[in-house]
A and B are shown apart, each in its own frame.
Chain A
Amino acid sequence: MSVHDFYVISPYLAMAGAGLLVILLDLVLPKKSLLPYFAFAALAGPFVLSLIQFYDISESTNLLQGSGVFSTDEPSVLLGALSVDRFALFFNFLIIGATALVVLSSTDYVKNLERFQGEYFGLILFSATGMMLLAAATELITIYISLELTTLPLAALAAFLLNRQSTEAGMKFLIIGAISSALMLYGMALVFGFTGSTQLAEISTSIGQATGDMPFGSYALFIGIILMVAGFGFKLSAAPFQMWVPDVYEGAPTPVVAFLSVASKAAAFAVLLRVFFTGFFDVALDWGILIAGLAAASMVIGNLVAISQSNIRRLFGYSTIAHAGYILVGVAAGVKSGEGIFRAPEFAAIGPDSVLFYLAAYAASNLTAFIAITAISTKINSDQISDYAGLVTRAPVLSIIFALSLLALVGVPPTGIFIAKLYIFTAAVDSGLTWLALLGVINSAVSAYYYIRIIRIMFTQPAVSEEKITVSPAPWLALGLAGAAMVFLGIAPGFVMEAAQSAVRALAV
């Protein structure tokens, strides 16, 4: 490997290094309460390196092509396995940002953990490394390894509390995750069998030759791609692969759930876009319908079942399924059926654009909500929505910010998700998926019901206790940053929107 190759993977090395550093520090640091701040500071490494890379490449290039500060003539050994382009870097920033907020918001929470505080932060950073790699991977084996690197630390984190519920959550996540990756691996094998390659670029050239009279052109591809969808569906928490979500959300530590619902979901969408738009685009008309169906099912199931939940974390579990549905609408909208007899699929950039923007807006709003839930549940020791009664008198500012984040999740302007929903539904209309856009709009209206119910309980019912809820400075900072991002994306969405569009141009087929 040349120096240039190390430069290419430096953000990932830095992220993994940060994880190791935190675990080592845990052994020598006398004051454990400083650990989160070290973990937070260590994120500067991958962030700065991503920033350097961002300015080192243009929209149409990627670092593997030997360009940039360490330019070299010899071909990179990573060629074909990774593509460090604007698309990957967009997700680097999103994942690093989400990780930073989760780390900050965990400061109060980890005090309850007697042991393994270093490992807690270390595992989060390792998982984040996997997520960043997922966004850059362009080869099936690399994708599989990155996916495992993402999932295994998360399973450990889900079981971190060592109580019955948490252990169960971790175990379920692990087993369902293992089954999903087994399905995905089998799917990958079939795709490899048909195309003779694991590299997305080469898969793309040979996949168009399948001309059979069945979906996707051949049975091997048909079964292979569907099995891969099942594997991704688990990570996306999309229906019908969503059943683990409420249980894990209920049992796992709250900051881990926040991490799971934001960063892990973003990485899963990144790899989904990469694989389907770069690798499988020639059969896009077939998977477009499939994705649209999953989107519809996720929105409907998520929103309707959320209505009758009494546990706030289960409610957010269903809410995240619904949001996965909205985002999948954007993925499906990336394909337009072309003109002519062959009806070759056409790429509609607005679909993936809207997916990226939605992920950013959802990350900001959902993190705001979860940081607030973490702060609240740490103090009141309950996840029952009924125990949120009268919170406004016990923690006025916290309640107001939480209420704002709930309104944001409904999609009320001026917050990011309003723009994001408009963007995604527009994309759907643009690509001829009007029925899906309509379903999405109706679902958003339904979702108002259960989000507003929480606000109503917090603000109108008498408080269970008089005790004030206090929050230490680090979670406050995290809450402020996430909340500011949530509103900023609604008022001045241009910056992130352009970043998303630029990222998608790097992906363009």
Chain B
Amino acid sequence: MVSQAVIWSIFLLPLASFVLIALVVRPLLNRYSMISGFITIGALGTALGFSIWTLRSVALHHDLTFEPVKWLSVGNATIDMGLLVDPLTAVMLVVVTGVSLLVQIYSLGYMQGDPSFSRYYAYMSLFTASMLGLVLASNIVQLYVFWELVGVSSYLLIGFWHERPAAAAAAKKAFIITRIGDVGFLIAILYLFGRADDFAAIGLNAFHIPDIWQAAQPQAALGAVLGGAALTWLALGIFAGAMGKSGQFPLHAWLPDAMEGPTPVSALIHAATMVAAGVFLVARFFPVFEHSADAMTVVALVGAFTAIFAASMGLVMNDIKRVMAYSTVSQLGYMIAALGLGLYAPAIFHLVTHAAFKALLFLGAGSVNHATGTFDMRYMGGLRRHMPITYILVVVAGLALVGIVPLAGFWSKDEILLGAWNGTGLVDTWVNRVTFSALLAGVIVTAFYTVRMIILTFHGDFRGGIEKELEEKAQAAPAGAAGHGGVHLHESPFVMVLPMALLGIAAVTLGYLANPQWDEQLGIPKHWITGFLADGLGAARGLGGHSETLDFSFGMAVVSTVAALSGIGLAIGIYLKRRDQRAEPLEKLGSVYTLLSNKYYIDTLYEDVAVRKWFFRVIAGTLDWIDRNLVDGTVDLIGWFFRNIGTAIGRFQTGQVQAYATGIAFGVLAIILALLLA
């Protein structure tokens, strides 16, 4: 059995790595900045070992409930800090530490020679520690603290190359858009504060996550502290936070811009872990969500819409990382939709497989960038001859994303589709139907943009890389490229290929081996991971026992494979033998193409209309105008009166003081009137 100290150290090791790099290595040993990389990798390697140990211990049904420590008390409410270790936590720990470890190894090669090498590893350690703290938190306030810290470290990492304006703007956009969602989350927490006394009356703590689950259970004995519309609003508040972090429509706009960060950062944070935190959050509070059909409907429809909506924008992007970013948003939509339909275990299963193959796709994009210096696919092409290993790995990951048997994505996506088709009875039938249709259509689109991306990057003839791009754009700095200037077509170094190969193995085997469909494989029981997660959910509901898992359906497999193959076939037909390699065949779609490549004008709407025109100019501008001008104007009107009685004072100021004094008088009058009328 794993001890409490070991579990805490999963979180404390990367934190210690951050402190050590920030306080010792960077100030004193910056010449040997490689040390920072080794410290981080050592800490994460150990943390991965401990995470696997924890997973094993949870799987063996050891009792891992720990007494939380008191952190602070606000009013009558006590806020604790503690560990919540259940199957969901255990699986997430392994995913986060595993992907993070591989990404850190890859970064040794990718970030080599960057002047801020130590700073990079310090931020990465901070991020990993925050993410692990989030996963382990047993208290909703504790969870929120790490939730914000994850946001801050993401902000730091997106803006890592802060000398580039685009990176700085993207970092700010990400921080602010996710905070809009966080307002909802914070309101949900405040609501729990307001209900703290009701919780206490039946011996529960309103912030302790298992107690919140218990309070949402409708058993008569507990008197259902949470229920009805209140529960729906609580769930929607939490979901708002999840929408921000997981880039669900309409808060998706920050994620594609976040690609300005270094590519390993995109792989770790904006593909595998942080963006999955929203999915994790909904899963964490699933025992609350499932009692509100309305909340579940909203979750399912937002997820389903995002899945197809984001995928459609992925069709026309020219930047390889942006294709993948929209793909990530879309896949997160699958997970959120699955949760909304009540498919708890399949959603997390998909989170796990997605972490593997999407991280690999991003690392592949980084590898391509290492060779060509650009992320723009219009200047790539033909790379399979120069980078065969990267090519094979990207194809494997891409097919896993599309969901081709027997790769990882096939098994997890099929469970979601099957579950959506069967329905779980938690939402109305029409929601099941709509979601299923959107997700199935999403498969075709996914197949299309994935194959388009592979063909544009690796097939055809090489189109010049960064040198050509710069020549055509005739500008000084590459738009989105890393500091890997210059084209030197070659396979990436071993430290970069090794983690990719390991992720490749995971992308091939993980789906079936983690969740064998027919019988036990290599000692892994049938339906292992979904059964494991479903058991955890059962325990959270206070039911226990073995929960249902979905059996493989041959019919659904055929349907989804046909959908995937039709997308693949269409893309191959259009792109592989196209005559003019520089032309974009989709441009023939005319206005649809324009709409998609302008991202449905949503960014324009947010930035130009909502922020600049409406908010900035109208509201803030008006108030500022009043402050500057109306006050002065008032002076002109009443100034003559005061000037006559105050020449001595008048010498000193521009006249505004009188206006301020008048302001005070008006303020007093306004208050008197307001109170009299109220």
Produce 1/0 per residue, B164-185, CB < 8 A to A. 1101110110011001101100
Q: B624 in the interface, Cβ–Cβ < 8 Å?
A: yes
Produce 1/0 per residue, A279-323, CB < 8 A to B. 000000010011001000000010011011100000000000000
Do A429 and B675 contact each other (CB < 8 Å), given the known contacts A234-B664, A240-B667? Answer: no
Least distance between B115 CB and chain A CB atoms (Å): 12
Residue of A nearest to B619 (CB): A304
User: Interface extent on A, as a size class?
Assistant: 35 or more
When distances are taken between beta carbons in the complex, the residues of chain A under 8 Å from B659 are 243
When distances are taken between beta carbons in the complex, the residues of chain B under 8 Å from A449 are 176
Q: Is the CB of B660 within 8 A of A445?
A: no
Least distance between B112 CB and chain A CB atoms (Å): 23
When distances are taken between beta carbons in the complex, the residues of chain B under 8 Å from A434 are 190, 194
Of B272-280, B292-300, B308-316, B650-658, the one contacting chain A is B650-658
Q: Is the CB of A179 within 8 A of B661?
A: yes
Q: Is the CB of B75 within 8 A of A171?
A: no
When distances are taken between beta carbons in the complex, the residues of chain A under 8 Å from B471 are none
Q: Is the CB of B145 within 8 A of A308?
A: no
When distances are taken between beta carbons in the complex, the residues of chain B under 8 Å from A308 are 616, 620-621, 624
Do A441 and B187 contact each other (CB < 8 Å), given the known contacts A167-B652, A493-B72? Answer: yes
Q: B68 in the interface, Cβ–Cβ < 8 Å?
A: no
Produce 1/0 per residue, A473-504, CB < 8 A to B. 00000000000000000000110010000000
Q: Which of A229, A293, A445 has a CB less than 8 Å from the CB of B182?
A: A445
When distances are taken between beta carbons in the complex, the residues of chain A under 8 Å from B191 are 429
Q: A227 in the interface, Cβ–Cβ < 8 Å?
A: yes
Least distance between A399 CB and chain B CB atoms (Å): 11
Q: A452 in the interface, Cβ–Cβ < 8 Å?
A: yes
Q: A38 in the interface, Cβ–Cβ < 8 Å?
A: no
Q: Is the CB of A241 within 8 A of B620?
A: no
Least distance between B621 CB and chain A CB atoms (Å): 6
Least distance between A499 CB and chain B CB atoms (Å): 13
When distances are taken between beta carbons in the complex, the residues of chain A under 8 Å from B405 are none
Residue of A nearest to B187 (CB): A441
Q: Which of A175, A214, A229, A430 has a CB less than 8 Å from the CB of B671?
A: A229
Q: Which of A215, A243, A309, A445 has a CB less than 8 Å from the CB of B676?
A: A215
Q: Is the CB of B657 within 8 A of A172?
A: yes
> How many angstroms from the CA of A227 to the CA of B624 in the assembled complex?
27
Q: B250 in the interface, Cβ–Cβ < 8 Å?
A: no
When distances are taken between beta carbons in the complex, the residues of chain A under 8 Å from B149 are 413-414
Residue of A nearest to B141 (CB): A422
Q: Is the CB of B162 within 8 A of A459?
A: yes
B77, B169, B623 — most chain A CB neighbours (10 Å): B623
Do A441 and B190 contact each other (CB < 8 Å), given the known contacts A290-B671, A307-B620? Answer: yes
Q: Which of B165, B180, B621, B657 has a CB less than 8 Å from the CB of A176?
A: B657
Residue of B nearest to A244 (CB): B660
When distances are taken between beta carbons in the complex, the residues of chain A under 8 Å from B71 are 494
Count contacts on B: residues with CB < 8 A to the other chain. Answer: 64
Q: Which of A223, A230, A418, A460 has a CB less than 8 Å from the CB of B162?
A: A460
> How many angstroms from the CA of A335 to the CA of B531 in the assembled complex?
52
Q: A468 in the interface, Cβ–Cβ < 8 Å?
A: no
> How many angstroms from the CA of A307 to the CA of B183 in the assembled complex?
19
B141, B180, B661 — most chain A CB neighbours (10 Å): B661
Q: Is the CB of B663 within 8 A of A240?
A: yes
When distances are taken between beta carbons in the complex, the residues of chain B under 8 Å from A418 are 145, 148
> How many angstroms from the CA of A289 to the CA of B674 in the assembled complex?
10
When distances are taken between beta carbons in the complex, the residues of chain A under 8 Å from B82 are none
Interface residues of A in 416-451 (CB under 8 A from B): 418-419, 422-423, 425-427, 429-430, 434, 437-438, 441-442, 445, 448-449
Residue of B nearest to A175 (CB): B657
Produce 1/0 per residue, A218-240, CB < 8 A to B. 00001100110110011000011
Q: A158 in the interface, Cβ–Cβ < 8 Å?
A: no
Q: Is the CB of B162 within 8 A of A307?
A: no
> How many angstroms from the CA of A354 to the CA of B75 in the assembled complex?
9
Interface residues of A in 125-146 (CB under 8 A from B): none
Produce 1/0 per residue, A330-356, CB < 8 A to B. 000000000000000000011001100
> How many angstroms from the CA of A226 to the CA of B666 in the assembled complex?
12
Residue of B nearest to A458 (CB): B162
Do A430 and B194 contact each other (CB < 8 Å), given the known contacts A350-B74, A422-B141? Answer: yes
When distances are taken between beta carbons in the complex, the residues of chain B under 8 Å from A172 are 653, 656-657, 660
Least distance between B557 CB and chain A CB atoms (Å): 45
Residue of B nearest to A348 (CB): B75
Q: Is the CB of A293 within 8 A of B674?
A: yes
> How many angstroms from the CA of A381 to the CA of B167 in the assembled complex?
29
When distances are taken between beta carbons in the complex, the residues of chain A under 8 Å from B183 are 441-442, 445
Residue of A nearest to B163 (CB): A460
Q: A407 in the interface, Cβ–Cβ < 8 Å?
A: yes
> How many angstroms from the CA of A244 to the CA of B664 in the assembled complex?
10
Q: Is the CB of B661 within 8 A of A240?
A: no
> How many angstroms from the CA of A183 to the CA of B669 in the assembled complex?
12
> How many angstroms from the CA of A293 to the CA of B674 in the assembled complex?
10
When distances are taken between beta carbons in the complex, the residues of chain B under 8 Å from A307 are 616, 620
Q: Is the CB of B187 within 8 A of A230?
A: no
Q: Which of A223, A239, A301 has a CB less than 8 Å from the CB of B672?
A: A223
Least distance between A394 CB and chain B CB atoms (Å): 14
> How many angstroms from the CA of A427 to the CA of B190 in the assembled complex?
9
Q: Is the CB of B148 within 8 A of A176?
A: no
When distances are taken between beta carbons in the complex, the residues of chain B under 8 Å from A240 are 663-664, 666-667, 670
Q: B16 in the interface, Cβ–Cβ < 8 Å?
A: no
Least distance between B63 CB and chain A CB atoms (Å): 29
Q: Is the CB of B660 within 8 A of A243?
A: yes
> How many angstroms from the CA of A301 to the CA of B163 in the assembled complex?
33
Q: B668 in the interface, Cβ–Cβ < 8 Å?
A: yes
When distances are taken between beta carbons in the complex, the residues of chain A under 8 Å from B141 are 422
Do A425 and B190 contact each other (CB < 8 Å), given the known contacts A241-B667, A413-B145, A448-B179? Answer: yes
Do A422 and B664 contact each other (CB < 8 Å), given the known contacts A304-B620, A445-B180? Answer: no
> How many angstroms from the CA of A171 to the CA of B422 in the assembled complex?
76
Q: A412 in the interface, Cβ–Cβ < 8 Å?
A: yes
> How many angstroms from the CA of A143 to the CA of B175 in the assembled complex?
45
Least distance between A206 CB and chain B CB atoms (Å): 21
When distances are taken between beta carbons in the complex, the residues of chain A under 8 Å from B176 are 448-449, 452
Residue of A nearest to B626 (CB): A305
Q: Is the CB of B671 within 8 A of A460?
A: no
Q: Which of A227, A426, A442, A460 has a CB less than 8 Å from the CB of B159?
A: A460
Q: Is the CB of B194 within 8 A of A456?
A: no
> How many angstroms from the CA of A128 to the CA of B671 in the assembled complex?
31
Q: Which of B72, B165, B180, B654 has a CB less than 8 Å from the CB of A494?
A: B72
Q: B479 in the interface, Cβ–Cβ < 8 Å?
A: no
Least distance between B676 CB and chain A CB atoms (Å): 7
When distances are taken between beta carbons in the complex, the residues of chain A under 8 Å from B144 are 413
Q: B472 in the interface, Cβ–Cβ < 8 Å?
A: no
Q: A247 in the interface, Cβ–Cβ < 8 Å?
A: yes
> How many angstroms from the CA of A453 to the CA of B624 in the assembled complex?
18
> How many angstroms from the CA of A332 to the CA of B149 in the assembled complex?
31
When distances are taken between beta carbons in the complex, the residues of chain A under 8 Å from B653 are 168, 171-172
Residue of A nearest to B186 (CB): A441
Interface residues of B in 590-637 (CB under 8 A from A): 616, 619-621, 623-624, 627, 631
When distances are taken between beta carbons in the complex, the residues of chain B under 8 Å from A241 are 663-664, 667
A223, A244, A354 — most chain B CB neighbours (10 Å): A244
- Taking beta carbons and an 8 Å cutoff, which residues of B are in contact with A? 71-75, 77, 141, 144-145, 148-149, 152, 159, 162-165, 167-169, 171-172, 175-176, 179-180, 182-183, 186-187, 189-191, 193-194, 616, 619-621, 623-624, 627, 631, 649, 652-654, 656-657, 659-661, 663-664, 666-668, 670-672, 674-676, 678
Some 8 contacts from A to B, beta carbons below 8 A apart, are A179-B664, A240-B670, A243-B660, A304-B619, A309-B624, A414-B149, A419-B72, A426-B194
The 9 closest A-B pairs by CB, nearest first: A240-B667, A460-B168, A350-B75, A429-B194, A426-B193, A413-B145, A243-B660, A307-B620, A308-B624
Query: Other than the known A176-B657, A442-B183, A452-B175, what 5 A-B pairs have Cβ atoms closer than 8 Å?
Result: A171-B653, A215-B678, A243-B659, A308-B621, A425-B190
